[in-house]
Chain A
Amino acid sequence: AQKITQTQPGMFVQEKEAVTLDCTYDTSDPSYGLFWYKQPSSGEMIFLIYQGSYDQQNATEGRYSLNFQKARKSANLVISASQLGDSAMYFCAITMNAGGTSYGKLTFGQGTILTVHP
């Protein structure tokens, strides 16, 4: 079974500063994928970034980067230059058999609420 743990129920950051949201995972599958999603108060889940377990480089998407430390089984999300619109719930998720043919079932963490202060 796969498991995702997000230990920070809530985080606060000042506008324009960087923030790191923690995510650790547990899986016995050698091939897997890690995701971060953002959920604003409106409710929709917005895909942010993806990292495959065999990817050598850390994934980056604009102001988002994924700090992937395979040996430590961590996949922290780093948001640079925070904006007020970044205030939301953030979820880390894992799927097995990343890439190729996959049903892509996701296992989610509990989520972290990020609040950006002006």
Chain B
Amino acid sequence: DVKVTQSSRYLVKRTGEKVFLECVQDMDHENMFWYRQDPGLGLRLIYFSYDVKMKEKGDIPEGYSVSREKKERFSLILESASTNQTSMYLCASSPRTGSVIQYFGAGTRLSVL
């Protein structure tokens, strides 16, 4: 059974803190994605990675960075958290070839106070 695991379901951080959101997949997928979900806006792509150490900006990368040192792990980093980064964050993975289906984690609800 496919599995994408996000390390935290809920996080509360303070403005200015450095925040790490971790995502691990066990399906040997090449592609991994970070999305942000806000009411009325759907999901928006922050960053994605198509291989180890490779990354590309999505639609809303400002204020975020990512790290992919191992194939199974993709981290989203908020260098200096701000209140407008309070949101639901979803990680997903997919294989490079064949199926284009993305498999999602359960999400992390981040509150920045």
Chain B, interface size: which category? 20 to 34
Query: Would you call B100 and A104 a contact (CB within 8 A)?
Result: yes
**Chain B residues within 8 Å of A98, by CB:** 100
Given contacts A106-B45, A108-B43, 4 further A-B contacts (CB under 8 A): A35-B102, A47-B102, A102-B100, A111-B42
Contact yes or no, A50 B101, CB < 8 A: yes
Interface of A is mostly: loop
Residue of A with least CB distance to B88: A43
Binding site for B on A (CB under 8 A): 4, 6, 33, 35, 37, 42-47, 50, 91, 93, 95, 98-111
Interface with A: B69-77, B79-87, B104-112, which one?
A: B104-112
B positions within 8 Å CB-CB of A: 9, 31, 33, 35, 40-45, 48, 50, 56, 58, 88, 90, 92, 94, 96-97, 100-107, 109
B104: chain A residues within 8 A (beta carbon): 37, 44-46
Nearest Cβ distance between residue A6 and chain B, in whole angstroms? 8
Closest Cβ of chain A to B81, distance in Å, is 20
